[in-house]
Amino acid sequence: MATNFLVHEKIWFDKFKYDDAERKFYQQMNGSVAGSSRQENGPGASSGPGGDHSELVIQIASLEEENQSLRGVVQDLQQAVSKLEAWLSALEKSSPAHPATAPQTQHVSPVHQVEPPTRKAVTVTEDDKDNDNDLLGSDEEEDREAARLREERLQQYAEKKVKKPALVAKSSILLDIKPWDDKMDMAQLEACLRSIQMDGLTWGGGASKLVPVGYGTHKLQIQCVVEDDKVGTDLLEEEITKFEEHAQSVDTAAFNKV
């Protein structure tokens, strides 16, 4: 694969560090030999092999620490490559007809003696194919079941809506009926009014009331409840005025929605 070249490269990028350490080592060895010869010849030399050896130990310890850090980088690189290979294998299985596009990964410089990770062969077995078919079949069954439940709920909602009784708009009307004169029998006038029967009309159960108008004349005040879509005030006044011998005029004193 295109990404495997990262783990097969064997370039020694930090060789110069080891060359410097080797050069310094031999220089220090040569210096220690020269220092010891100077000590034998006279007391002029102040440095000895002990100081050079300590400095060499410090440099070797520093190199070992750097080597440990590089090993950590190599392990991270191996893990990144393994994850990338697993992702590409999964992508090839899911969409073999389309070329896979590798995700953006952080660039890590190859180091010396990096062992290539062992790549496990990925094979598509018959069981995997059967599992894929089972998953597709289960999805189709779930879709059909969801559609069936949705249809049942819609049907139940429609049935409830049909069975639910519709709200009927009603109004309470207070009527004022004036007689022709003060000699009119108001009880007979009320009986005439209550004899009017229509679908959607209900006369008030309470007693009517006589309200003085003037000169000894009273008007009859009576209440009724009507359904707005069946009985209107015009139709009600027309029916009342048919009793022209008793009722002179009809007025609506109050009109309220129930």
Q: Given a cut of 60, is residue 127 above it in pLDDT?
A: no
> Which whole number is the average pLDDT over 119-137?
53
CA 30 to each of CA 45, 47, 126, 154: distance values in angstroms, whole numbers, following the listed order:
14, 13, 71, 98
Q: Give the Cα separation of 119 and 45 in Å (integer).
A: 61
Task: Give the pLDDT band (50/70/90) at residue 52.
Answer: low
For 38-50, how does the pLDDT look when each residue is reduced to its tens digit (9 = 90+)? 555 554 444 455 5
Secondary structure of residue 109 in the 3-state scheme? coil
Share of the chain above pLDDT 90, in %: 3
Least confident segment among 45-49, 173-177, 250-254? 45-49
Chain-centre distance of CA 76, in angstroms?
36
Distance CA 108, CA 115 (A): 15
Q: Tell me which residue of 186, 3, 225, 224 sits closest to 104, measured CA to CA.
A: 3
* Four-CA torsion 77, 82, 84, 86, nearest 10 degrees: -170
What does the alpha-carbon distance between residue 45 and residue 38 come to, in Å, rounded to a whole number? 6
Report the distance separating Cα 97 and Cα 214, nearest Å. 102
What is the pLDDT confidence band of residue 164, given thresholds at 50, 70 and 90? low
Query: What single DSSP character describes residue 180?
Result: S
DSSP string covering 208-239: -EEEEEETTEEEEEEEEEEETTT--HHHHHHH
Determine the pLDDT at residue 235: 87
Residue 245 three-state SS: coil
Report the predicted TM-score, pTM, of the whole model to 2 decimal places. 0.36
Give the span between the Cα atoms of 157 and 88, in whole angstroms.
50
> What are 58-116's pLDDT values in tens digits?
888 888 888 888 888 999 999 999 999 998 888 888 865 555 455 555 554 544 454 55
Percent helix, percent strand, percent coil in the chain, to nearest 5: 50, 15, 35
